């Protein structure tokens, strides 16, 4: 059994995220796909967007993979979200499964800064979408992880040059979410006026 994990802050999820997931699904052909928004990412400031709204926006990933499971495990667990803990949970939940971790190429270069990165390499095959696969820094980092026993798959699909931070800024300047985000994410952003400068309605957990 193959289990593909795709985690991130997803604040908001966008077309680049969907493109990465599609590429990973094509490469791995997993039996199960799990999209898991982080609770509190360890290497970033906590998101100002309520976690349940980020979770709701992640319904957009069904465009890339209709059978994807959108998991609230890290959010419900509370505290900082370390990928090694999530991978260990999945290894226990699916004994004997091959675990794959979908990630951007920039994360390969900082992978050794992750908590228990050696253990994570043992648990997961890295499925990496790199903007510049021939970039010397990326190539050296990927090869170094392989020398340490890691399994690294580099996706060849084109990369959409989008970022959550730039999209938040554009919506803050008044661009409509429908023009920038996948429909499911845009509906949540519109309803709660996420990322815009106007006062947004209070989210009451409905």
**pTM of the predicted model as reported, rounded to 2 decimal places:** 0.92
pLDDT band at 160 (very low <50, low <70, confident <90, very high): confident
* Section 38-45 average pLDDT: 74
pLDDT reading at 103 higher than 80: yes
CATH of domain 2-191: 3.40.50.620
**More confident: 160 or 107:** 107
What is the token pair recorded at 88?
């260990």
Report whether 168 contacts 11 (CB < 8 A): yes
CA distance 206 to 47: 20
Ranking 1-15, 87-101, 118-132 by mean pLDDT, the lowest is 118-132
Confidence of residue 135 (pLDDT cuts 50, 70, 90): confident
- Mean per-residue pLDDT for 139-146? 93
pLDDT at residue 193 in the model: 94
Residue 40: pLDDT band (50, 70, 90) is confident
Residue 46 is predicted with a pLDDT of 62
């Amino acid at each position: 059994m193959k289990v593909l994990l795709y985690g991130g802050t997803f604040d908001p999820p966008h077309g680049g995220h969907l493109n990465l997931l599609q590429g990973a699904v094509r490469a791995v052909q997993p039996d199960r796909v799990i999209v898991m928004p982080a609770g509190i990412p360890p290497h970033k400031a906590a998101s100002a967007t309520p976690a349940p709204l980020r979770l709701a926006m992640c319904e957009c990933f069904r465009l890339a993979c209709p059978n994807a499971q959108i998991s609230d495990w890290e959010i419900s667990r509370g505290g900082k979200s370390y990928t090694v803990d999530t991978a260990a949970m999945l290894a226990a939940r699916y004994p004997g499964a091959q675990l794959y971790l979908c990630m951007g190429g920039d994360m390969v270069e900082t992978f050794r800064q992750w908590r228990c990165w050696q253990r994570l390499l043992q648990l997961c095959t890295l499925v990496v979408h790199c903007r510049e696969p021939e970039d010397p820094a990326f190539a050296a980092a990927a090869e170094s992880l392989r020398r340490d026993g890691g399994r690294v798959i580099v996706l060849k699909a084109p990369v959409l040059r989008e970022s959550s931070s730039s999209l938040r800024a554009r919506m803050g300047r008044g661009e409509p979410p429908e023009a920038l985000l996948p429909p499911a994410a845009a509906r949540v952003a519109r309803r709660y006026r996420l990322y815009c400068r106007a006062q947004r309605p209070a989210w009451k957990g409905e």
